[in-house]
Each structure stands twice: as C-alpha cells, then as structure tokens.
Structure 1
Amino acid sequence: MSRVEAERVAVDRCAAEGGRDCAISMAYHNQCVAFVVPSSGKGQGSLVRGPVESEVLESAIAKCSDTGGGSVYDFIRIVPSQYS
C-alpha cells in the first residue's frame, strides 16, 4: 500500500468510527507509533514514533500526564507501519 493509500484508509477508518474532522497528524514507514491518553481525560496525551516498539511505548508513557486524578494512561495503541 502506498503512503497516499494508507493515509486515505486511516482517515476513512477514523470517520467510520465516528471521528469528526479526521486528518493525518503523522506518517511513518518501518516504525511503530504509540498513542497514550490520560484516563481522566484531563492532562496531556502523547503520540510518539520510532523504530523500537519498547522505546516508543516507554517514551509515550513518560510524556503522558494526568491532571485529573486518574492513572497516567488509559489507552495505548502500538501501530505498525502499513505502507511500503
């Protein structure tokens, strides 16, 4: 799948799951991405990419902060590259 095709699929999936104003915020190849959000919904989430899954996840968790009294993270998703 090309980069353009992968971006189109990502936006289509976002919209299909109820997303509004879906847009590409990061594109990557041969890397992993970790997306982490605070469980209370208050604070700062993080989106990190890199070639080593464990390092990407560690960095994303470290950059996430919860100012609403919840756990540091509620949702973690590791996404491998989908285009070649």
Structure 2
Amino acid sequence: MNRNNRAMPVGWETQSDDWEYVPIKLPPDVTRVTASMRLAISAEFGGWELSRVRLYTDGSRRVLLKRRKTAHHVPDPGL
C-alpha cells in the first residue's frame, strides 16, 4: 500500500519542511507489548520517533511516526 494513500485522522498534519511522516495502522489483534516492540525497532533502525497514537474502540491503533528529513534515504518501517 502506498503510504500517501492512507487516510489520516483529522488534525494529524503531515506537511513539514523539516520532518517526514509515516502513518501505520495496527490491527486489533496486535497486543500493546507487540506494538511497543515494533515501534521500538522502527526507532532503533530507522530513526523514527512516535508522533501520535489513536486507539479505536475495536482495539486497532493508528500511529504516526516522524523523523527529521535527511539527505540519504532510509526505508520506511516495514510494520
């Protein structure tokens, strides 16, 4: 799925000259511990940091990761 086609919750701005953003949807069957580990791996190896999290009543989560823009390309997190 192309990351630009993912729907973003209202108010989650992703336009910035200094930051790049990637939205991630975690399904309801992903536990809090598993989600935490996935996001920690993205931070460790991709330079991503947590920007926002939204938990829905069905148990799914929308996560917005951000990182400073760099001259060299680092791949998006493969969650």
TM-based fold match above 0.5: no
Question: Rg larger in 1 or in 2?
Answer: 1
What TM-score comes out, normalization by structure 2 length?
Answer: 0.32
Per residue, is there more helix in 1 or in 2? 1
Per residue, is there more strand in 1 or in 2? 2
What TM-score comes out, normalization by structure 1 length?
Answer: 0.31
